[in-house]
A and B are shown apart, each in its own frame.
Chain A
Amino acid sequence: MDFYFGLAQIIGVHSLLGLSAYVVLLTGQVTLAQAGFFAVGAYVAGMLTVLAGWTILPALAASSALGAVVACAVGFPALRVKGLMLVIATLAFGEAVRLFFFNFDYQVAKGGVKLGPLGGEGFRQIRYFPENGWTTMDVMLFIWTFVVLAMALLWWFDRSRYGAVLRAVGEDELAAQSVGINLTAVKVSAMTVGGAIAGLGGGIYAHYTTHIEHASFGILLATFAIAYPILGGLGSVFGTIVAVVFVQGFLVEGLRFLGDWRNLLFGALIVVVMNVRPKGFLDAPTLLWIRKLFGGKRGAA
């Protein structure tokens, strides 16, 4: 059973990462910065519980807040550029964060043991969960509480005018500003919300793995982050979750019996899915169809 709880933990954390990219992608911005915000959240939350002795909830609140602040600060200059230029700019930011943590030493002696981030060695012994006697199931439920909260937040956005405005900007920036929408405010706010969710996800990730290092937050993680909402479709937050389950549950874990063939099939299946569902699993027409099936309401995307 623990295997499935562990898998659910991975899916939960990656869902937060995917949701953070989903918000930004709604405004049409392809960002590779999410792994950077995730890394900031991971290191900050880990240092707060291990070195400062905070409990987990305030530490996660702080990592989420810092993720938001960093995203807002990065968003202003980065969102002046579009398309491929933005991809490069956010990629550069992500790498800068990774290299910062590669060189970041801050160790404090606690009960005769030195703890804290140690550059390339990583940050070991983030043992808040085991020290407090949390079981794998506790941790999994804890993670999914936050996933559900983040989904509820984004689902509410989607029902509100803000969600429609985000999508309007994603569809056509020129038309959006020509009906009076402030593009900078909309894009930076989406980036900030995304940063808060990524920071939260990073904080949780640090605690369930108990050991983080710079290499975990590289371009691969950034690519996964943006791949989830693209694969899942922008019609609904549920699309991103479906994509995470598909990638982490089916492609990564479910196909393990194939051995070396798995990696080959991994890429091939993603290509197949993108061809069969070019706008993702849950695109706008699919959702409209589902909604009509249940006699849904007007005004929601």
Chain B
Amino acid sequence: MALLELKGVSRHFGGVRAVDGLDLAVEQGQIFGLIGPNGSGKSTTVNLVTGLFPLTAGSIVFDGRDFGTLATHLRIGRGVARTFQNIRLFGQLSVWQNLWVAQNSPADHAKRGFFSRWLGGQAGVREEISRLLEFSGLAHKQDELAANLAFGEQRRLELARAMATRPKLILLDEPAAGMNSEEIAQLKDRIVKMRDEGITVLLVEHVMELVMGVTDRIAVLNFGQKIAEGTPTEIQADPAVQKAYLGGETV
């Protein structure tokens, strides 16, 4: 059964059909790519899954339960996490604290207990944060303010912060934007490592070097609709995709 299933999902902003009747099924353990030209509705799809806007039509089923109109923080609690296209860290908190405040999973709450959920100290969470700092290569920067990190480090911290919510599914919104090819190679390793830990990945991306190299399956959006879906090899050969990207004429 699919971990995330979108059925006829639409979101209209006035007359603009940002996402229009989108069907998508992301299987457990997959790295699923979502690509498309600018303005094709990829980021809107991510925002709809995390509940930042209500749906105009359709439904989103995650882990066997319909999200309905569930609030964003409750969706995160059920096991969805995301990163942002334009990095959104808590700049005046330290790197360590950025991960600390993201520990909102039911498992972490249970570990802290009811009262110490909010007011308690750092018992039982240090190891997990250390592990995430190690994972993202930021251990030596843990006391820096997030705002003072370099661009690539901020991207890594944001990924680690999403991991700190203990997600089943992670939505990466253009994680490779602005990265050089060495950083992209590192990111690719991290994504594979996340999948190996059992996290399903939905990767929204422009950088084909990353998408084609790492995904199991790809869906292509154009003007809010899905125009193709398949393996990376199938997608590269698809004439509809080539037309959407290169603007070729219908033959």
Residues of A within 8 A of B (CB): 156-157, 160-162, 164-165, 167-168, 171-172, 174-183, 284-285, 288, 298-299, 301
Contacts and interface: CB of A to CB of B under 8 A. Distances in A.
Interface in B49-95: 50, 52, 71-73, 76-77, 81-82, 84, 88-94
Given A171-B93, A298-B96, 18 more contacts: A160-B119, A164-B101, A167-B93, A168-B97, A168-B101, A171-B91, A172-B90, A174-B52, A178-B52, A178-B76, A178-B81, A178-B82, A179-B162, A180-B76, A180-B165, A182-B73, A288-B145, A299-B97
B44 interface: no
Contacts, number: 95
Nearest to A183: B73
Contacts of A178: 50, 52, 72, 76, 81-82, 84, 88
A196 to B, nearest CB: 15
B97 A172 contact: no
A165 B103 CA distance: 10
A183 B93 CA distance: 18
A179 B93 contact: no
Contacts of B234: none
Contact of A179 (B92, B104, B120): B104
B93 A164 contact: yes
Contact of A164 (B72, B100, B120): B100
Contacts of B101: 161, 164-165, 168, 176, 179, 181
Which of B73, B102, B162 has the most A CB atoms < 10 Å from its CB?
B73
Interface of B: 50, 52, 71-73, 76-77, 81-82, 84, 88-94, 96-98, 100-102, 104-105, 118-122, 142-143, 145, 161-162, 164-165
B73 A180 contact: yes
Nearest to B109: A180
A108 B144 CA distance: 61
A167 B122 CA distance: 17
The list of the 4 closest CB pairs from A to B, nearest first, reads A180-B104, A180-B76, A179-B102, A175-B88
Contacts of A182: 71, 73
A161 B119 contact: yes
A175 B121 contact: no
Contacts of B164: 179
18 contacts: A156-B119, A157-B119, A160-B121, A167-B92, A168-B97, A168-B98, A174-B88, A175-B88, A177-B72, A178-B81, A179-B81, A179-B104, A180-B76, A181-B101, A284-B92, A298-B142, A299-B100, A299-B122
A62 B90 CA distance: 37
A182 to B, nearest CB: 5
A264 B84 CA distance: 47
A268 B27 CA distance: 63
Contacts of B98: 168
B223 to A, nearest CB: 26
A161 B92 contact: no
A164 B97 contact: yes
B156 to A, nearest CB: 16
B97 A301 contact: yes
A175 B84 CA distance: 8
Nearest to B171: A178
A183 B105 CA distance: 16
Contacts of B81: 178-179
A291 to B, nearest CB: 9
Nearest to B108: A180
Contact of B93 (A157, A160, A168, A174): A168
